[in-house]
Amino acid sequence: MQVEDAYPTANDGFQIEFLRWGGGRNFANNASSSSSSSSPSSRAPENVVILLHGWSGGPEYFQFCMQTLKHNEKTCYLAPRLRGHGCKDDAKGKFHIARLAKDVHDLIQWLKKKQICAENQQFSFVGTSMGASVIWCFVELFGESEVKNYTFVDQAPLQNVRSDWCLGSTGCFDEVSLKNLQSAVLKGPDLSEFADGNERACVAEGSNFKCEKEVKMCTLSCKPEALAELMADHTNLDWRPLVGSLEKPALVAVGEKTQIFPWKGVAYVGSLMKNAQTMVCKDCGHWLYLEQPGLFGFALSNFISTSESGESQGQILLHRREIGRLSVRRRLAGTL
């Protein structure tokens, strides 16, 4: 893992921070270079993966699954720290999903400007929880031309309850529950109490899994006011129409014992898409990539290396006993 010194800057002057795994020396050399060459080095990575963490998290969440992979110059993993989550410029930031999506776009333009990747590079996008919402917003704003494939981790396409939707969040699903959650992050004197409760909710119920201290530190580094603003925007966004229109291949990862959503609400993302595989991770919760980093790392790297745009996969990787329950997965979500 390397923390970059030559950070990109968003169009409003906000410094975009990120962690990197893989990509080789060429990445570091180009990132620090002021060269204006029109073409990337022949040693530029073939695959560039953008990892987007969830609400109240941080890019450090990915280090555990990244440690299970053998990295090389061909594939580069980048995990930006989303605004409001411990960035040095958080004091002057704006906090809503569209702003985060624009930050991702600005990061990509910086990668191309630095010749770290080709001008026509397509990226693999990985979004865990709210990170998936950022990806959906990115596509709504900028289209799929820069997308190679997607991985969506334990996020329903809508958190709030609607007349045609009952598979959203179990903890933040209307105005009252939103205010309760906002009060929890704003009560002070810090986010320690909230972080402990968040961990209990995000791992599988009854699990003996205990997060590393780096996980809690990510939450403690967040700006409480930013978390409150982000959740107010995030929880009310309905991505079902957009998800149903996506063309590029996707892997949808679901925690079998997730406490944040009904697991069918997350699996519904895969059923909406034209070209998706859905993987239900046994005995895992919302933080399945932390609870089973080796499993998630293997599934992610395998999917990224084998999926091809336009390939019709349509595969759903569920426990055998559940396949029948989702056999008519294009019904209205509220009737599943």
Tell me the percentage of the chain whose pLDDT exceeds 90: 75
Check: CB of residue 296 under 8 Å from CB of residue 65: yes
What sign results for the dihedral spanned by CA atoms 35, 37, 38, 43? negative
Residue 69 has pLDDT above 60, yes or no: yes
Give residue 336's pLDDT: 35
Residue 268 has pLDDT above 90, yes or no: yes
Model pLDDT for residues 313-323, shown as the tens digit of each residue: 444 454 433 42
| Longest Cα–Cα distance in the chain | 57
Which whole number is the average pLDDT over 304-329? 46
Structure tokens at 279: 């993987």
Q: Tell me how far apart the alpha carbons of residues 223 and 71 are, in angstroms, rounded to a whole number.
A: 33
20: which strand partners?
Answer: 2, 78
Structure tokens at 263: 């697991």
- pTM here is 0.89
Model pLDDT for residues 1-34, shown as the tens digit of each residue: 554 546 899 999 999 999 999 986 656 556 656 5
Query: Which 3 state secondary structure label does DSSP give 115?
Result: coil
In which band, very low, low, confident or very high, does the pLDDT at 35 lie, cut at 50, 70 and 90? low
Q: Which CATH superfamily is domain 2-335 in?
A: Alpha/Beta hydrolase fold, catalytic domain (3.40.50.1820)
114 exposure class (CB count in 10 Å sphere: 0-12, 13-18, 19+): buried
Crossing angle (nearest 10°) for helices 175-186 and 192-202: 130
Least Cα distance to 82 among 112, 66, 59, 116 occurs for 59
Q: Tell me how far apart the alpha carbons of residues 309 and 194 are, in angstroms, rounded to a whole number.
A: 41
Query: Which 3 state secondary structure label does DSSP give 92?
Result: helix
Q: Tell me how far apart the alpha carbons of residues 104 and 8 are, in angstroms, rounded to a whole number.
A: 10
Residue type, 213: K
* Phi, psi (deg, nearest 5) at residue 79: -125, 100
What is the rounded (10 degree) CA torsion for 191, 193, 196, 201? -90
Check: CB of residue 217 under 8 Å from CB of residue 192: no
In which band, very low, low, confident or very high, does the pLDDT at 331 lie, cut at 50, 70 and 90? very low
* Phi, psi (deg, nearest 5) at residue 199: -65, -45
Which whole number is the average pLDDT over 33-61? 80
Residue 77 has pLDDT above 80, yes or no: yes
Model pLDDT for residues 164-223, shown as the tens digit of each residue: 999 999 999 999 999 999 999 999 899 999 999 999 999 998 887 888 888 999 999 999
Give residue 333's pLDDT: 33
Residue 78 has pLDDT above 90, yes or no: yes
In which band, very low, low, confident or very high, does the pLDDT at 308 lie, cut at 50, 70 and 90? low
DSSP state of 165: B
Give residue 20's pLDDT: 95
Cβ neighbours of residue 80 under 8 Å, at least 6 residues apart?
16, 17, 18, 50, 52, 59, 103, 104, 107
Which whole number is the average pLDDT over 42-50? 85
Which whole number is the average pLDDT over 134-145? 98
Structure tokens at 35: 């060269």
Model pLDDT for residues 84-124, shown as the tens digit of each residue: 999 999 998 889 999 999 999 999 999 999 999 999 999 99
Q: Tell me how far apart the alpha carbons of residues 31 and 268 are, in angstroms, rounded to a whole number.
A: 39
Compute the mean pLDDT over every residue in the chain, rounded to the nearest whole number.
Answer: 87
Which residue's entry shows tokens 């972080």? 195
In which band, very low, low, confident or very high, does the pLDDT at 70 lie, cut at 50, 70 and 90? confident
25 exposure class (CB count in 10 Å sphere: 0-12, 13-18, 19+): exposed
Least confident of 71-80, 95-104, 202-211, 272-281: 202-211
Q: DSSP string covering 315-328, please?
A: -EE--HHHHGGGTT
